[in-house]
Structures are given as C-alpha cells and as structure tokens.
Amino acid sequence: MPLNLQKNLPAIELLKKEHIFVMDALRASTQDIRPLHIVVLNLMPLKVTTETDLVRLLSNTPLQVEMELMKIKGHTPKNTPIEHMREFYKDFDEMKNKCYDGMIITGAPVEQMPFEEVTYWEEVAEIFDWARTHVTSTLYICWAAQAGLYHFYGIPKYQLPQKMFGVFRHTIREPFVPIFRGFDDEFYVPHSRHTEIRRDDILKVPELTLLSESEESGVYMAMARGGREFFITGHSEYSPYTLNDEYIRDLNKGLPIQVPKNYYRNDEPSLGPVVRWRAHANLLFTNWLNYYVYQATPFHREDICLLGDLYTENEARK
C-alpha cells in the first residue's frame, strides 16, 4: 500500500524518481482501509532530507500510512525555508489533543550540550510525556534516544574521544522480539555521533531491555513498555550518501573528521559508498509498523488516549 502524504511535500517528487509509490490525501481517501496515523517530530537541521529518508522507509509496507510533521514552537530552523515549515509543519500545541498510532522523534545537532541547556528541552520533555498517553509506539532516534532515556530513566550520556562515524556491525541480544523478525544474525547500521550511552547503565534499569549492540559502536537499541518505546542510537534511516555529505561538510568547515568506517569502497571516498544497511532498515520500520503499531491498535485511535490515561494512573499507584 502507498504512503499517504500531504500534497506538494518535496519528498513525493524525490521518491517518485526512485519508483516508490506515494499518494496525496485525495487519492488515498478513496481507499476503504484504516490508515495508520504517524506523527514525526523532526529535529534534524535538514528537514527535507530527513522527511525523504523516513518516507522512503515508511512506504515499504502493505499498510496505509498518513504522516504528519510536528515542530518545536520555540525553535526556528536555519537550514529549511520558512515557507516549507509553514506549509507542512504544525506546532505541538496544535496537535496535542489528537492521538496517533505511532511517532518518530529524530536526532538533533545538540548532542554535546547538557540536556537542560538545550533551548527547547522543556518542550521536548513535555512531548515525550505526551507521547506516553497519546501514541501507541514511539521510535526515539539518535539524540532523541539519548534524551528519552535520560528523561524517563536517568540514563546519562558520555562524550566520546572521537566521533563515532561510519557503518558498524551489530548483533541481536533478543532474537525472538518481533522488531527483529527476518533479521540476519548480524546487520549493519550507520552511526554519526559524538556521545554514547552505555550498556551497563541500560542493564541496571529493570524497565529497559537491551535488544541490540555492536562491539565497536556500543548500544544500538533498547526497548521499554513492551515495545511502546524504542530507543535507537544509530541512523538506519540514512540514505546512501548521507554520511558522505556529512563528511564533506565537516571537511569544508575544517573540523576534525575521519573517513567514515566501513563506508567507502576500500575506504576511498572517490570510489563511493557501499550500502550495507538498506535491507535491515526496511525490515526495522516494517516490523515496527506491523507488530507494534498496526497489530497493537485494532481499535480506534481515540482508545489510545484512554489506554494511555490508564497506564499513567497505574504508574502513579506504584
């Protein structure tokens, strides 16, 4: 089934060139299928690039998906035209009374700052809390994963001696969890970050399950609340050339950056990248939509709010 997007979103034309089928709301409304409503809090600086990366993966499923874009009210992005933000994004205040089947919260270029010093930290923390009562399942990606683990469970982040940058091999600790249905024993994921969370801190929290890690890049995925929250430190959603673009960007800025590991053919930038993560990225998002969003909500979205309120009441009694 196609992904249902707002008309004129730039990702539509970009993905048509890749022969990925998407449709606008008018065409999708004629199909008698319960669509999944997914909200994306996009904190990445290049909004259109991130939108396209996520749409590419969300469209690779037999489920119909309707995607809405959320933005931080108190933050004006520098790298995306204001016209784009006005047309396609809404403030949290405009969306907080709705319920959603799923939510994706992206990374942000603020990872080396203490969480409380991020200018929009209070609003992000409010959105995290809101998601627990208004969303069936939430994917926290990169900085958002670190922020969510810190906000809910007090998990700290640690500065790395150098940027974790490249494509790294990962293993699965819990192979029978449905998020890994169809995965190989080993799989690859891009990483691009200056900080990390540590497995020992995850293992100390009974509410968290460490699902996957890498000998080189560390913790990759943790799960909470039976799959209602996934914390993912890598960038499975990255397109083939995203790491290359980041590498060239940092070189041009004169920043200390090393060639991304396991990325270019023979580690030679002029030879271009070898894509090792596309199949598992598609499986990751398809499994999430199917097992943790669609099959977890065989009822109306309004019931999600009711279940969320019951969850909050139960937590308060503990």
Catalytic residues: 142, 235, 237
Amino acid occupying residue 201:
D
CA 23 – CA 142 distance, rounded (Å): 29
> Is the sign of the CA dihedral 125, 126, 129, 130 positive or negative?
negative
Q: What's the start-to-end Cα distance of the chain, in Å? A: 42
Helix (H) or strand (E) segment spanning residue 246: helix 242-252
3-state helix vs strand vs coil in the chain, percent to 5: 40, 25, 35
- Give the Cα-Cα-Cα angle 268, 269, 273 (nearest 5 degrees): 95
Pick from 167, 178, 188, 238: which is nearest to 211 by CA? 178
Pick from 249, 273, 14, 44: which is nearest to 142 by CA? 44
Q: Are 72 and 120 in contact (CB under 8 A)?
A: yes
Q: Are 257 and 165 in contact (CB under 8 A)?
A: yes
CA 216 – CA 70 distance, rounded (Å): 34
